[in-house]
Amino acid sequence: MALNKIAAYRSWKALDPGADCPIDLRFAAMPGLTKQDIREHFPQGMLPAELDISRGLTGREIDLVDTSGTTDEKITNIWNQKWWDASERSSWKLNSYINKIATGEHREAILANPRNVGFISDDVDLPIEKRRLARFLYLNEKTDPATWSPDLMNRMVKELEIFQPVVLEANPSLLSRLCRYIIDNRLSVFQPGIIVLTYEYTAEFQYSQIRQAFRAPMTSSYGTTETGYVFMECEAGKFHQNSDFCRVDFEPFKTQYGGPLLGRIMVTPFDNPWCYYIRFDTGDLVCLEESGQCPCGRNSGIILASINGRKANLTLTVEGKPITLFELDHAMSRLAGIDQYKLIQTDLRTYELHLVSPGQEKDHLMLEAEQTLKNIYGAKAVINIFFDTDISPERSGKHLISKALFPIDINNYLEQH
């Protein structure tokens, strides 16, 4: 239907092998929908002619929201809250812990960058009533967590005790920062029914820091503003597709680059009357579960062993092999005494590693970190290490862990069909 009714897909119709072909072949014949495509056709070019944006806004059925990010990443989307909530509720059944306690009316505390969700107030601390919205409490109003004061973090801990959320949803970078403070000051903290990590990639050292302060079950939820809730981590640590609300197409890397299990995903959301996105390129890389099965017993849709970061997080070895954030982070997790890190590849053989470490023995850590990176990127890699007092988030509100300062064309590494 979308090929016939949506102006943005007019040129795609010639690629369609026809209704007589299997649906998987028809989807595979389509290109990926990019954010640039959406920008060029938004709004009416992405919708059937009978849908009226003005009427939807006036009737409060929809809102217009801007995604956070760089100029290349940022787009305006139509936000349908009713559909979003239904997508979220559907994802809950993919994790036994949250499925038992989430009702849709439950109390939820959110520790996120207000650039992504919540209320921004960098100059003045907002009282709790200014950070409440329906069943939600937004714990943080500061866009740069590097400015968090002890008083502010004490307030967060106190409000968790007062509010007693059933669910704590959090950026892993922010929650791990709060947990370091809790651990260093030997504070006790309220234990929610479950912690849902979202908005960012969760580094292994962040997970470890959170686990030192919280005993509650943890899960990771993956989705996008454009596609809703796409994957949920089950109690066995695998990621399950929210099959009732989206289709996921997987495109593997070539064998020499990590395929056929490693690849990128394209997502087609279902049942959103205001969203006709076909094979939306989310920019994310994933690794399939090799067995295709999970101990939890759920078997609907794609099962992932891991979510491996974004295309924007890719770096290259000196020989040109792509390194995902997952691979980099697994190696960096072996280094002790790191609170934060960020790796920037400046050219094909030069890497800048920024470290935040509370320890005093920096020389040993520097040597260990350099060898770790040379093991990944090659003996000829030039590693420049800098010790920072803190690492602030990007303008998007999210923490950057790895990035190359030159373009990397992912199509060079994908298996060609």
Q: How far apart are CA 308 and CA 288, in angstroms?
A: 10
Query: Which positions ≥6 away from 329 have C-beta within 8 Å?
Result: 201, 203, 204, 309, 401
pLDDT computed for residue 155 by the predictor: 98
Amino acid at 196: V
pLDDT computed for residue 69 by the predictor: 55
Q: What is the CA angle 103-104-110, rounded to 5?
A: 110
pLDDT 10s digits, 45-74: 898 888 889 999 999 999 998 876 544 567
pLDDT computed for residue 70 by the predictor: 47
pLDDT computed for residue 68 by the predictor: 62
Phi/psi at 16 (5° precision): -75, 120
- Domains of the chain in start order, with CATH, are 2-310 (3.40.50.12780), 315-412 (3.30.300.30)
pLDDT in tens, the chain (417 residues): 688 889 999 999 999 999 899 999 999 999 999 999 999 998 888 988 888 899 999 999 999 988 765 445 678 999 999 999 999 999 999 999 999 999 999 999 999 999 999 999 999 999 999 999 999 999 999 999 999 999 999 999 999 999 999 999 999 999 999 999 999 999 999 999 999 999 999 999 999 999 999 999 999 999 999 999 999 999 999 999 999 999 999 999 999 999 999 999 999 999 999 989 999 999 999 999 999 999 999 988 999 999 999 999 999 999 999 999 999 999 999 999 899 999 999 999 999 999 999 977 889 999 999 999 999 999 999 999 999 999 999 988 999 999 999 999 999 999 986
Query: Which positions ≥6 away from 158 have C-beta within 8 Å?
Result: none
285: which strand partners?
Answer: 264
